[in-house]
Amino acid sequence: MCRMSRPVHLPDPGVRSEPGPAAGCDVCGALAAQRERARSVGDLSKVIDCNVEMRRHPHALK
């Protein structure tokens, strides 16, 4: 007898923990704006890309 298990639902890795833009950082502000435009047209790949760039942006090094 074959049993079907319940479906597994995984959260979207780019959306569940979005970074906020660093205060006063123009690059982070631009990335946040790009992210919102991408989200508004359903481009979740671009949303994730923006999140990754924001996390990697070296504002702490300035």
Q: Please give the pLDDT value at position 47.
A: 92
The whole-number average pLDDT for the span 25-49 is: 94
From residue 61, give the alpha-carbon distance in Å to each of 18, 31, 56, 57, 58: 21, 18, 11, 9, 5
Angstrom distance (rounded) from CA 5 to CA 56: 38
Q: Compute the mean pLDDT over every residue in the chain, rounded to the nearest whole number.
A: 84
Q: Is pTM, for the whole model, over 0.85?
A: no
| Structure confidence by residue, pLDDT tens digits, 24-34 | 999 999 999 99
Query: Residue 49 pLDDT more than 90?
Result: yes
Tokens of 41: 């047209």
**From the centroid of its chain, how far is CA 18?**
5
